[in-house]
Amino acid sequence: MEVVILGGRQAGKLAADAIEHLLRRKPDAVLGLATGSSPLPVYDELAARHERGLDFSRASAFALDEYVGLPAGHPESYREVVRREFTSRVNIAPGNVHGPDGSAADIPAACAAYEEAIAAAGGIDLQLLGVGTDGHIGFNEPGSSFTSRTRIKSLIEQTRRDNARFFGSLAEVPHHVLTQGLGTIMAARHVILLATGAQKAQAVSDFIEGPVAAVCPASILQFHPHATILLDEAAASALKLADFYRHTYDNKPAWQGL
Ligand code: F6R
């Protein structure tokens, strides 16, 4: 696990560098997309690079998760958020952008089909992640199985309250979601998790420096062979080894990249 502590929007640039590098090496790369606030600087940066010629025409993308029960086209459905914040701003083919189907009549079949679609695309090359204040990744709330695959989950009330800012009121935030499992996320070849702000400091210190435990789902990333964690100073403020992470990154050989 590589921990990088940066100021402001630099994290977005660094994650975009990794995605640009991947697309130049593998134009048909498979991207895993998070929603929420954390990845927005990455999407802004990628949209700017697309204007300067970065090509997404052969790439494909899979969303991490989706609310259950929001009508198609609801502005806060993750399919719509992914389209608005990212895929409509680059030249990725709309047919290559996938998300779990939160309005499916047969939810288990829709989840199995989503896993099959990821496998058929060759697996996810680079998965963007945020982390919840309770340590969730995707919508794998505390207690999620480390080997889980895409399935329905109930949101913890803390997560519903955190996400109420995107809705008119707390009552409008769905209780259920479909999410890639922790096993699905762990199968991505590279994961980049972004976290900013003091409200993430406890979860960040728990998953980076605490024990690997289902009560903190993001802690499973300690077992990932290629996990990059991009933090601002506030999100890093509870880390015991912050100076070591800074020193390591400042002295990293340039050829290594992320
Ligand atoms: C979003 C997702 C969630 C968020 C997390 C952090 O697709 O899967 O895990 O990444 O809730 O949300 P923000 O970035 O809004 O703080």
Task: Provide the residue type at 210 as one letter.
Answer: G
Q: How far is CA 26 from CA 19, 92, 115, 167, in A?
A: 10, 14, 22, 37
Average pLDDT, the chain: 96
CATH number of the structural domain spanning residue 246? 3.40.50.1360
Residue 36 falls in which region: left (phi positive, over 0), alpha (psi -120 to 50) or beta: left
pLDDT, tens only, 46-64: 999 999 999 999 999 999 9
180 within domain boundaries: yes
Q: Please tell me the predicted confidence (pLDDT) of residue 98.
A: 98
pLDDT, tens only, 60-79: 999 999 999 998 889 999 99
18 within domain boundaries: yes
258 within domain boundaries: no
**Residue 85, both tokens:** 């914040």
200 lines ligand 1 (CB under 6 A): no
List, by residue number, the catalytic residues.
Answer: 65, 134, 136, 141
37 lines ligand 1 (CB under 6 A): yes
Residue 8 has pLDDT above 80, yes or no: no
* Position in ligand 1 atom list of the atom nearest CA 194: 14
- What lies within 8 Å, CB to CB, of 210 at 6+ separation is 216, 219
Which is it for strands 176-179 and 151-154: parallel, antiparallel or unpaired?
A: antiparallel
Q: How many domains does the chain have?
A: 1
63 within domain boundaries: yes
- Residue 211, domain extent: 2-251
51 within domain boundaries: yes
256 within domain boundaries: no
Q: How far is the CA of 198 from the centre of ligand 1 (A)?
A: 15
| CA-angle at 109, arms to 105 and 115, nearest 5° | 130
CA-closest residue to ligand 1 atom 4: 130
pLDDT, tens only, 176-220: 999 999 999 999 999 999 999 999 999 999 999 999 999 999 999
CA-closest residue to ligand 1 atom 15: 36
* Position in ligand 1 atom list of the atom nearest CA 38: 14
136 within domain boundaries: yes
